[in-house]
């Protein structure tokens, strides 16, 4: 479909006046209203393009249309935030003065209706941003093509030579926010209020909620296993990122050919993926629009195709839709010679099934494999899929073998190559073959200089992807992962896809939707370390303020009858009756938390600080009923501790242990054999040896002074005894500290090991001894000088 018609079908009628006037821009380009978007008009028939035409078009595109769309986007975003704040204030009054509020149910229903309207506007605003973003790129492309006409390129007065407006448009994009799709903070606030209202009204009264909304609670699946973070890395920072991760995780070595010797050259393995789609690019469109159950299909192998024994066919389905990053993967392996027959439906992996049967594998496993094969083959044939895009890149993977709690991959030298046969006159790939033989038979490698310019796009950055199971990570691992994510070394690129980017860049004539990150491609993603750190601190501060605003209407709640006994795994729409038929909470209780909100809490430290202020509020009220109510609400909002430990302690009540569970008399950390690393003992022993070294020096000095003094030199003998006394004290102190620290090590005590009393005493004693020695010696010399003969000199004595 031509973009002009696509735009008309996707316009939201109440906002029609704020969309890009695409027809106006086409008129300025002197194109017919019914012309296609392919820009195939004969340049010789185009009228002369003057400098005045250029100025008029650029002014209309950059200063009029772009400002119009951007201002509306900014005003709508501001309006949505204000409407959300009003809903929060309304609920705040309701919670604080629950006993005095009349028609509470009516207020809640009104708020629920307003939340539905806000949710609807967010969805429309996201579509508004996307279609207008695409329209500006289309208009700029038309202009750049139009300017290359025969008369437009001639040299002479009043004409210009091949002007380009797209670079200027990219600069303006980077300065604006309308093409940055980040509604997560607002959706989080809406999700929290949704569950608050729905649980207050009861599920039966809240059925009007649009469940297909991306902002509705429960739309995010609760079984998401991994959290994925994607980033761009500038070439200048690749080595630093690798070394940063390498200090924490080992490099995972892929050995695609286990029967051969492992390649020890130290080079990153080359990964090649062939992505499938049809002539309408349906898979691409579903992925860009984030449709539910959007799928992608690819063939993948490692190294050169001539050396690859197996080709992996993979289908990834985004089962949650929207912003959900979890996926269901289906994968089979097949040999090169069977790929063509499998894609055309002539071969259904019968030989592999026979081998599985000959190995006496379980019937269920064989049946599951056959089901997967049939599903993949049916998916290919029904959607008329064919290879359209090749992605070639070098991958460095970091992971502890056997431990998949955190997986990091860094892809460099990414090249996206056309692999299609859409143009029957000039196909990039032989339609009867599943891959490009000119690349694989010639063993081309990056940067693929032999390919035509329009067939390849070299991605300018490296791609970093971090997959983590956050609930199972240690705190230290979380710290360095957060440090990397917030550093100046990476640039966030959420939901980036090689397949989507490659199609958007190489097949822009075939598609009418583009990903938002195209507007950032011409930016310099390098950051100043100091500015990056300041920006991260500001982001965290803003996050805390947003979360505080969400939970600000709850700390002084009176009584809604909540108990706070529902666990995080309870779905929002679950019934309020337990397995024995007893009601677990009143119908209008607020104790249930939003299933998505607790997973998006900030750090535990923030929760602990806010928990202290909540406890003070409970103490001031001094009511057990109110304490119980607050305990129930702590699970709903981020300003309360959401852990069972925090809820129990903040309520001031002992934890009710399950049947058969007893409180341990001794913690696990104190049970069993105490194992301490040898370096701890050695450090304590080194300190003791240092003390003994000082003892020997002081004792030797004291003995030397005593032996060298004459019988009548009382001062020298006294000083020697003082030094010896200090040595004895130091020896006793050093031994005592050594035994004391050894005892603390055995007990795994958390006390400080330092003790400054001994060193201070020794230093003061030495200083006093030296001063006294100098004073007495000086006094003796002066006295002797006053009684000496005229020829006596003080310098001789000294």
Instruction: Give the integer Cα–Cα distance in Å for 640 and 170.
Output: 44
528 part of a folded domain: no
Average pLDDT of span 599-618: 37
pLDDT, tens only, 423-476: 888 899 998 899 999 998 888 988 898 898 889 999 999 999 998 875 666 666
pLDDT, tens only, 182-231: 666 777 677 677 767 766 776 444 444 443 343 333 333 333 456 788 99
734 part of a folded domain: yes
Same domain, yes or no, for 231 and 291? yes
Residue 334 has pLDDT above 80, yes or no: yes
Instruction: Give the integer Cα–Cα distance in Å for 308 and 324.
Output: 34
Question: Residue 320: its pLDDT value, please?
Answer: 57
Average pLDDT of span 363-384: 92
150 part of a folded domain: yes
Q: 472, 479 in Cβ contact below 8 A? A: no
Instruction: Give the integer Cα–Cα distance in Å for 63 and 74.
Output: 16
Question: Residue 732: its pLDDT value, please?
Answer: 93
Q: Which residue, 146, 181, 216, sits at the end of a domain?
A: 181
Q: 18, 69 in Cβ contact below 8 A? A: yes
Inter-CA distances, 723 with 576, 581, 769, Å: 81, 84, 8
Confidence of residue 34 (pLDDT cuts 50, 70, 90): very low
Residue 546 has pLDDT above 80, yes or no: no
278 part of a folded domain: yes
Question: Residue 325: its pLDDT value, please?
Answer: 53
State the pairing for strand pair 456-458/251-252: unpaired
Q: Which residue, 118, 153, 181, sits at the end of a domain?
A: 181
**Most confident residue range from 129-133, 327-331, 433-437, 642-646:** 433-437
**Most confident residue range from 387-396, 559-568, 655-664, 716-725:** 387-396
Confidence of residue 481 (pLDDT cuts 50, 70, 90): confident
Instruction: Give the integer Cα–Cα distance in Å for 61 and 101.
Output: 53
Query: What pTM was computed for the model?
Result: 0.52
Average pLDDT of span 504-514: 89
Same domain, yes or no, for 580 and 501? no
Question: Residue 347: its pLDDT value, please?
Answer: 87
Inter-CA distances, 86 with 82, 93, 193, 553, 594, Å: 6, 11, 12, 12, 20
Q: 528, 488 in Cβ contact below 8 A? A: yes
Same domain, yes or no, for 233 and 174? no
Question: Residue 231: its pLDDT value, please?
Answer: 94
Question: Residue 638: its pLDDT value, please?
Answer: 40
Same domain, yes or no, for 152 and 71? yes
Confidence of residue 300 (pLDDT cuts 50, 70, 90): very high
Q: 178, 519 in Cβ contact below 8 A? A: no
Question: Residue 169: its pLDDT value, please?
Answer: 82
Residue 592 has pLDDT above 60, yes or no: no
Average pLDDT of span 739-761: 82
Burial of 509 (0-12, 13-18, 19+ CB in 10 A): exposed
Q: 512, 1 in Cβ contact below 8 A? A: yes
Residue 525 has pLDDT above 60, yes or no: yes
pLDDT, tens only, 94-125: 777 654 556 777 888 888 888 888 878 887 88
Same domain, yes or no, for 471 and 585? no
Work out the mean pLDDT of the chain and round it to a whole number. Answer: 74
What are the DSSP E strand ranges found in 345-402? 386-400
Same domain, yes or no, for 754 and 606? no
Residue 255 has pLDDT above 60, yes or no: no
Same domain, yes or no, for 685 and 660? no
Q: Which domain holds residue 71?
A: 3-181
Instruction: Give the integer Cα–Cα distance in Å for 336 and 597.
Output: 48
Instruction: Give the integer Cα–Cα distance in Å for 172 and 169.
Output: 5
188 part of a folded domain: no
Coil, strand, or helix at residue 761? helix
- The structure tokens 């996050």 sit at 543
Two structure tokens written together for 432: 């009867």
Per the model's pLDDT, the better-predicted residue between 84 and 126 turns out to be: 84
339 part of a folded domain: no
Same domain, yes or no, for 504 and 576? no
The total domain count for the chain is: 4
Same domain, yes or no, for 150 and 289? no
Confidence of residue 667 (pLDDT cuts 50, 70, 90): low
Average pLDDT of span 408-427: 91
510 part of a folded domain: yes
First to last CA, the chain: 107
Same domain, yes or no, for 661 and 758? no
Count CB atoms within 10 A of the CB of residue 412: 19
Question: Residue 90: its pLDDT value, please?
Answer: 84
Coil, strand, or helix at residue 350? helix
Does 565 sit behind a cis peptide bond, omega within 30 degrees of 0 on the bond before it? Answer: no
Question: Residue 87: its pLDDT value, please?
Answer: 87
Two structure tokens written together for 267: 């080079």
Same domain, yes or no, for 276 and 403? yes
Helix (H) or strand (E) holding 414: strand 403-418
Count CB atoms within 10 A of the CB of residue 250: 12
Question: Residue 283: its pLDDT value, please?
Answer: 92
Confidence of residue 290 (pLDDT cuts 50, 70, 90): confident
Average pLDDT of span 336-349: 89
Question: Residue 544: its pLDDT value, please?
Answer: 76
CATH classification at residue 309? 3.20.100.30
Coil, strand, or helix at residue 405? strand
Instruction: Give the integer Cα–Cα distance in Å for 164 and 152.
Output: 12
363 part of a folded domain: no
Same domain, yes or no, for 717 and 783? yes
């Amino acid at each position: 479909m031509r973009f002009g018609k696509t735009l008309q079908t996707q316009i939201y009628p109440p906002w029609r006046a704020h969309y890009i006037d695409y027809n106006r821009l086409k008129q300025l380009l002197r194109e017919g209203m019914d012309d296609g978007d392919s820009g195939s008009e004969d340049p010789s028939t185009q009228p002369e393009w003057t400098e005045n035409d250029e100025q008029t078009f650029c002014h209309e595109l950059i200063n009029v249309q772009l400002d119009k769309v951007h201002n509306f986007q900014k005003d709508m975003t501001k309006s949505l935030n204000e409407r959300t704040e009003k809903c929060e204030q309304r609920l705040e009054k309701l919670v604080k003065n629950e006993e005095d509020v009349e028609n509470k149910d009516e207020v809640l229903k009104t708020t629920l209706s307003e939340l539905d309207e806000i949710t609807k506007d967010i969805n429309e605003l996201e579509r508004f941003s996307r279609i207008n973003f695409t329209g500006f790129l289309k208009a700029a492309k038309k202009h750049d093509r139009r300017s290359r006409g025969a008369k437009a390129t001639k040299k002479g007065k009043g004409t210009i030579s091949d002007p380009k407006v797209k670079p200027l448009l990219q600069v303006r994009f980077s300065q604006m926010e309308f093409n940055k799709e980040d509604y997560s903070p607002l959706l989080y606030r809406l999700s929290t209020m949704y569950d608050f209202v729905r649980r207050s009204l009861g599920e039966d009264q809240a059925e009007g909620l649009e469940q297909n909304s991306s902002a509705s609670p429960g739309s995010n699946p609760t079984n998401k296993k991994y959290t994925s973070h994607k980033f761009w890395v500038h070439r200048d920072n690749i080595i630093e990122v690798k070394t940063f991760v390498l200090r924490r995780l080992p490099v995972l070595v892929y050995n695609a050919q286990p029967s051969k010797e492992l390649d020890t050259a130290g080079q990153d393995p080359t990964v090649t993926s062939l992505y499938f789609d049809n002539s309408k690019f349906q898979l691409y469109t579903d992925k860009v629009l984030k449709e539910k159950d959007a799928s992608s299909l690819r063939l993948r192998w490692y190294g050169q195709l001539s050396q690859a024994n197996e080709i992996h066919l993979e289908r990834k389905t985004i089962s949650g839709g929207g912003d959900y990053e979890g996926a269901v993967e289906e994968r089979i392996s097949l040999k090169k010679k069977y790929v063509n027959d499998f894609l055309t439906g002539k071969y259904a992996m019968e030989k592999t099934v026979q081998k599985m049967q000959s190995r006496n594998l379980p019937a269920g496993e064989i049946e599951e494999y056959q089901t997967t094969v049939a599903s993949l083959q049916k998916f290919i044939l029904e959607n008329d899929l064919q290879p359209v895009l090749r992605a070639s890149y070098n991958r460095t993977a970091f992971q502890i073998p056997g431990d998949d709690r955190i997986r990091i991959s860094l892809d460099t030298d990414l090249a996206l190559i056309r692999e299609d046969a859409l143009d029957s006159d000039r196909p990039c790939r032989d339609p009867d073959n599943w891959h490009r033989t000119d690349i694989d038979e010639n063993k081309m490698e990056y940067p693929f200089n032999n390919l035509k310019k329009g067939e390849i796009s070299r991605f300018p950055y490296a791609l970093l992807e971090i997959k983590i199971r956050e609930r199972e990570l240690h705190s230290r691992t979380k710290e360095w992962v957060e440090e990397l994510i917030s550093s100046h070394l990476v640039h966030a690129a959420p939901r980036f896809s090689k397949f989507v980017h490659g199609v958007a860049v190489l097949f822009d004539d075939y598609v009418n939707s583009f990903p938002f990150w195209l507007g950032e491609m011409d930016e310099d993603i390098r950051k100043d370390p100091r500015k990056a750190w300041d920006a991260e601190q500001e982001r965290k501060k803003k996050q805390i303020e947003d979360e505080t605003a969400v939970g600000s209407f709850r700390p002084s709640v009176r009584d809604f009858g909540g108990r706070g006994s529902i666990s995080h795994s309870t779905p929002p729409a679950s019934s309020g009756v337990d397995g024995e038929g007893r009601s677990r909470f009143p119908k209008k209780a607020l104790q249930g938390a939003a299933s998505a909100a607790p997973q998006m809490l900030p750090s535990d430290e923030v929760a602990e600080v806010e928990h202290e202020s909540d406890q003070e509020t409970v103490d001031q009220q001094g009511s057990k009923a109110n304490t119980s109510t607050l305990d129930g609400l702590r699970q709903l909002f981020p300003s309360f501790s959401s852990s069972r430990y925090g809820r129990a302690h903040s309520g001031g009540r002992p934890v009710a242990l399950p049947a058969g569970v007893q409180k341990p008399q001794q913690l696990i950390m104190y049970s069993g054999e105490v194992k301490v690393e040898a370096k701890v003992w050695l450090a304590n022993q080194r300190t003791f040896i240092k003390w003994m070294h000082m003892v020997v020096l002081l004792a030797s000095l004291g003995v030397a002074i005593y032996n060298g003094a004459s019988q009548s030199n009382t001062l020298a003998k006294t000083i020697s005894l003082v030094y010896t006394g200090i040595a004895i004290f130091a020896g006793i102190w050093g031994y005592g500290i050594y035994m004391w620290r050894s005892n603390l090590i055995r007990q795994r005590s958390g006390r400080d090991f330092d003790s400054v009393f001994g060193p201070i005493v020794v230093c003061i004693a030495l200083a006093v001894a030296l001063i006294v020695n100098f004073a007495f010696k000086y006094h003796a010399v002066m006295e002797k000088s006053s009684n000496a003969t005229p020829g006596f000199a003080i310098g001789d004595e000294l």
